[in-house]
């Protein structure tokens, strides 16, 4: 359990596998211990990354400024950090994880 995210130094780190050019933005389960997210934007000029941040912001009900892509800016495999380790964010991520088991 708790494969795709961990809390470290007052940040939440998410392992994300992104599929750009999807029909709609959605969580599509897990992939190699990462959260698989389909994004409707193309992987051109950072559009998919911006859409990923917007999607996570809405999903977790937090400001986009709290979300940052730490690694994998030009890759499908990304490490995304979320400032703060708010219990409500962790609870939402656990719900997402349990829904995709």
pTM (2 d.p.): 0.92
* Structural domain boundaries, residue 36: 5-99
Q: What string of pLDDT tens digits covers the 101 residues of the chain?
A: 458 999 998 999 999 999 999 999 999 988 889 999 999 999 999 999 999 999 999 999 999 999 999 999 999 999 999 998 788 898 998 888 887 65
Question: What's the CA gap between 101 and 94, in Å, rounded?
Answer: 11
The count of structural domains within the chain is 1
Q: Are 51 and 32 in contact (CB under 8 A)?
A: no
Any idea what the CATH number is for the domain that residue 11 is in? 3.30.1200.10
Match 């780190």 to its residue by tokens.
13
């Amino acid at each position: 359990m708790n494969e795709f995210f961990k809390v470290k130094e007052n940040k939440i780190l998410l392992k994300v596998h992104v599929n750009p050019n999807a029909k709609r933005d959605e969580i599509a389960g897990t992939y190699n211990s990462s959260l698989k997210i389909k994004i409707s934007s193309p992987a051109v000029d950072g559009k998919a990354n911006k859409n990923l941040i917007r999607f996570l912001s809405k999903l977790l009900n937090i400001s986009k400024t709290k979300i940052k892509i730490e690694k994998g800016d030009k890759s499908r495999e990304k490490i995304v950090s979320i400032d703060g380790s708010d219990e409500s964010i962790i609870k939402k991520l656990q719900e997402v994880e349990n829904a995709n088991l």
